[in-house]
């Protein structure tokens, strides 16, 4: 189950080039990541939010800029998030 829908132009946030971004179109949700999806929403990462991918971090994660904040996300979390440039 996901929040939002994927389109042909959508890419995983983790696959985005640094400095590029777009609008969050889909947040993949399953029975194990409900808490994660909720926390992301509270921090501003939810469907319709503008997001910019930043630099990669040790371990395969990356920094993202959203709603004036910088958040560090790990590689697994990045896979939940799809954006449309």
Partner 1 sequence: MTEPQPHRVASCHSDGTGAVAPAGAPVVALVGAPNVGKSTLFNALTGARRSVGNWPGTSVEVGRGAWKGRRVMDLVDLPGAYSLDAASPDEELTRALLVDVPACELPEVTVVTVDAAHLARSLYLVSQLRELPLRLVVALTMDDVARRRGITVDAEALGRELAVPVVVVDPRRRAGLARLHDAVLAQLDAPVPAARPVPAGLGEFELADDRFAWIESAVARATTQTAKPGQSWSDRIDRVALHVVWGPLLFLATMWAVFQLTTTVAVPLQDALDTFVAGPMSDLTSTALRGLGAGRIVTGLVVDGVIAGVGMVLTFVPLMAIMFVLLALLEDSGYLARAAVVSDRVMRLIGLPGKAFLPLIVGFGCNVPAIAATRVLSTRRQRVLTALLVPFTSCSARLTVFVLLGAVFFPDNAGTVVFAMYLVSIALIVITGLLLKKTLWRAMGSEPLIMDLPPYQRPTLSLVGISTWIRLKGFLQTATGIILATVVVVWALQAWPVRGEGEFADVPVQDSAYAALAETVAPVFAPAGFGSWESSGALVTGFVAKETIISTWAQTYAVADPEAGGDGAELGAELRRSFDESSGGHPLPAVWAFMVFLLAYTPCVATLAAQWREIGARWTAFGVAVQLSVAWVLAVAVFQVGRLFW
Tokens representing 7 are: 């389109």
Asked whether 54 and 65 are in contact (CB, 8 A), the reply is yes
φ, ψ dihedrals at 84, nearest 5°: -110, 120
Q: For residues 9 and 60, which CB has a smaller minimum distance to partner 1 in the complex?
A: 60
Stated as kind and residue range, the H or E segment containing 40 is: helix 34-42
What whole-number distance in Å separates Cα of residue 48 and Cα of residue 42? 14
The verdict on 41 binding partner 1 (CB under 8 A) reads yes
The verdict on 16 binding partner 1 (CB under 8 A) reads no
The verdict on 23 binding partner 1 (CB under 8 A) reads no
The verdict on 63 binding partner 1 (CB under 8 A) reads yes
Count residues binding partner 1 (CB under 8 A): 33
What whole-number distance in Å separates Cα of residue 60 and Cα of residue 10? 20
Which of residues 26, 71, 81, 83 is near partner 1 by CB under 8 A? 71
**Interface contacts to partner 1, rule CB under 8 A:** 3, 32-33, 35-44, 46, 54-61, 63, 67-74, 76-77
């Amino acid at each position: 189950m996901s929040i939002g829908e994927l389109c042909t132009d959508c890419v995983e946030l983790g696959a985005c080039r640094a400095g590029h971004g777009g609008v969050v179109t889909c947040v993949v949700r399953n029975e194990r990541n409900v808490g994660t999806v909720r926390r992301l929403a509270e921090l501003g990462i939810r469907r319709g939010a503008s997001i910019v991918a930043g630099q990669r971090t040790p371990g395969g994660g990356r920094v993202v800029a959203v709603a004036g904040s910088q958040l560090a996300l790990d590689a697994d979390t990045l896979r939940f998030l799809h954006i449309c440039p």
